[in-house]
Amino acid sequence: MHCSRHFLLLLLIAALPFPLEGNSHCFDHQERTYNANSQFVFKTCSQSCTVMPFFSPDNALEAHLNLFEEAQESITIVNPTFESWNRTCSHNHNQCAKCCTGCDISYYRADEKFPVFAALLNAINLRNVSIRILTNNYSSTTWPEKATMLDWLAVNNISVRMYKTTYFLHAKYAFIDGGKKTLISSVNYSKTSFMKNRESGVIISQCSDCETLKLYQTVFESDWEIADPYVFDNQYTEDQLKSMRDQAFYPYPIVKQPGKRVPDIQTTMALQDFNDVQISGYVAPDNARKTFMGSLQNIQSKLIVHIYAITSAKICKEIVNLKNNSGINVTLLVSWNTAGAVKKYTEDCYRNLTNNGITIRKSNHSFLFSHQKYWIVDDKEVHLSTGNWAESDFPVGKEWPPYKAANRDMLVIMQNPSLVKFYGDVFEHDFKLGNDIPGGQ
C-alpha cells in the first residue's frame, strides 16, 4: 500500500489552485491539525556557502549520484515519490484504487534501470551508510509474490517512513553526513523527472553551521518523528529475503538519453561550484505565504520567472500589480504541458498576464514538462523552490486541519553575481526555445 502513482498526479497535486475538502485522495494521511511552527521561519546563513546548480535532463542524475557516492556516514532523502524506471513496477494505473503494483523480485537485482537505487544499496551494503527515506503513502497494494522498490530498500535495512504531517509531501530534499552537503530541487524520483523534464536544483556545501540548512534539517526531523513506519504488504520467504539482501555490488545501469528530445533541450552544461554564496530560506506551509508575498512586494525593478505552473489567482493578480502599479519588468517562462485540471487555472492566469502586457512564453515541446521552479529578482538573487505558485504550496493561514491542501515545500534564496548570471543564462536558453502566448488568448 505504499507505492507511487502516475507521475502526472504528482504534478497535478503540486499545482492545485485551491484547498480540496474531504478525504478523497489516497496520499492524504494527515490525522491532526497542523499549526504553523513559530520556529520554522525565514533564516539567513551567517556564513557564505558553496553552491553547485544542476538541471534535468543535463546533469541532475550525475549530481545525485555524486552526492550519494560521497556519503560516508548517512544519507537522508525526502521526495514525493520513489519510482522504478520500469513503469509497470511502480505505477498504479487505477490511481487511488487498492490494486496493484510491483514487479518480480528478481527484476530489481538484474534489470532495474534507476541508478540511484543501485547507489543507495551500495552505500548501505558496502560502506555501512545509514539511510532514511521520507515519502508519500499512495495507498496502493503490492501484487502477491512481487515487490516494490521501497520493499526492496526496506528489506535492506534502509529506514522508510510515510509522510503525514500535512496534506502532501511536495519537498525534494536530501542531505548527507549530518548536513555536510544539502540538496534541494524540483526533481521527483522518476525517470520522467530525471530524463525528460526540465528540472532545477542545487547542492549546498562548505557551510554546515548555516542556520538555513539547520532549519531544513529540523523540519525534516519533525516530520520524520510523526511519520508512519513502512509496512510490507507481502510476507517474503527466507529464500526471497536472502536474494533481496545479497550485498554484492550493484553495477550502475547504462542510462540512455531519451532520443530525439535531447538535442533541442540540453545546454551541455557541466557541474560547477560557485563560492561565496549568501544563503537564506524558508519552508511551507509554515509562515510561507507571508514571506513569499512580502518578497514579491520588495522587488525593485525586474522579475524573471521560470516555473512549471501558476494556478493561484491571488498570486497571478500580484504579478499584474507589480507591473501596473510598481513598474516592475516581469518576464515569465512556464511549462507548455500541464497535468489534468491544472490547465484551466493556468490558462486563466496567463490570459490575465498577457492582457496586461506581461511577457510570457511557454516552454519548448521537447521537454515533456518544464517542471523547474526558480525566479530571479532584480538580477541580484535566485529563489529556488520545490513548489509552484499555487495555493497548496503557499497556503493562507496559520493552521491546516486534515484534508486541507497544504503542501510541505522548501525554498532557498541565493545571492552571488556569477550564480545569478548562470541561472539567467539557462533561462535565456530555454526562453529562446519557447513559444509566445498571444495576448488576449
Query: Are the beta carbons of 379 and 428 closer than 8 angstroms?
Result: no
CB crowding 203-221: b at 16 or more within 10 Å, else e:
bbbbbbebbbbebbbebbe
What is the pLDDT of the chain when averaged over all its residues? 90
* Residue 3 pLDDT: 38
C-alpha 70/C-alpha 181 separation (Å) is 10
Tell me which residue of 201, 211, 215, 181 sits closest to 278, measured CA to CA. Answer: 211
Cis before residue 57, ω within 30 degrees of 0?
Answer: yes
C-alpha 275/C-alpha 278 separation (Å) is 9
Q: What percent of the chain has pLDDT over 90?
A: 79
C-alpha 171/C-alpha 218 separation (Å) is 14
Q: Kindly state the DSSP code that residue 176 receives in the 8-state scheme.
A: E
Task: Please state the rounded mean pLDDT for residues 403-430.
Answer: 97
Q: Where are the alpha helices (DSSP H) in 208-312?
A: 211-226, 238-244, 261-265, 288-297
Q: Band the pLDDT of 208: cuts 50, 70, 90.
A: confident
CA distances (Å), 319 to each of 294, 312, 314, 338, 423, in order?
12, 11, 9, 20, 21
CB crowding 103-138: b at 16 or more within 10 Å, else e:
bebebbeeebebbbbbbbbbbbbeeebebbbbbbbb
* Residue 19 pLDDT: 41
Q: What is the pLDDT of residues 109-156, one digit of tens each?
A: 999 999 999 999 999 999 999 999 999 998 888 888 899 999 999 999
Q: Where are the alpha helices (DSSP H) in 162-251?
A: 191-195, 211-226, 238-244
Residues with Cβ within 8 Å of residue 257, at least 6 apart in sequence? 57, 195
245: pLDDT strictly greater than 90? yes
- Residue range(s) in the chain whose domain bears CATH number 3.30.870.10: 7-34+52-244, 274-436
CA distances (Å), 244 to each of 62, 67, 77, in order?
26, 25, 21
Q: What is the pLDDT of residues 317-326, one digit of tens each?
A: 999 999 999 9
CATH architecture of structural domain 274-436 = 2-Layer Sandwich (3.30)
Task: Please state the rounded mean pLDDT for residues 292-306.
Answer: 98
437: pLDDT strictly greater than 90? no
SS3 content of the chain, % helix, strand, coil (to 5): 30, 25, 45
Instruction: Please give the residue that has the higher pLDDT: either 25 or 239.
Output: 239
Q: What is the pLDDT of residues 157-194, one digit of tens each?
A: 999 999 999 999 999 999 999 999 999 999 999 999 99
Consecutive H or E run containing 63: helix 60-70
Task: Please state the rounded mean pLDDT for residues 247-255.
Answer: 89
The sign of the torsion formed by the CA atoms of 291, 294, 298, 302 equals positive
* Residue 177 pLDDT: 98
C-alpha 178/C-alpha 357 separation (Å) is 48
92: pLDDT strictly greater than 50? no
Among 55-64, 76-85, 223-232, 246-255, which stretch is predicted with the lowest mean pLDDT?
A: 246-255
Query: Are the beta carbons of 165 and 402 closer than 8 angstroms?
Result: no
Burial of 50 (0-12, 13-18, 19+ CB in 10 A): middle
Q: Band the pLDDT of 295: cuts 50, 70, 90.
A: very high
Q: What is the pLDDT of residues 51-78, one digit of tens each?
A: 999 999 999 999 999 999 999 999 999 9
1: pLDDT strictly greater than 50? no
Single-letter residue type at 394: F
Q: Supply the pTM of this predicted model.
A: 0.93
Q: Band the pLDDT of 340: cuts 50, 70, 90.
A: confident
Query: Are the beta carbons of 205 and 50 closer than 8 angstroms?
Result: yes
Q: What is the pLDDT of residues 348-402, one digit of tens each?
A: 999 999 999 999 999 999 999 999 999 999 999 999 999 999 999 999 999 999 9
Among 24-28, 116-120, 244-248, 272-276, which stretch is predicted with the lowest mean pLDDT?
A: 24-28
Among 48-62, 90-104, 415-429, which stretch is predicted with the lowest mean pLDDT?
A: 90-104
* Residue 149 pLDDT: 93
314: pLDDT strictly greater than 70? yes
SS3 category, 220: helix
Q: For 236, left (φ over 0), alpha (ψ -120 to 50), or beta?
A: beta
Fold of the domain spanning 7-34+52-244: Endonuclease; Chain A (3.30.870)
Grid coordinates representing 259 are: 532520443
* Residue 23 pLDDT: 44
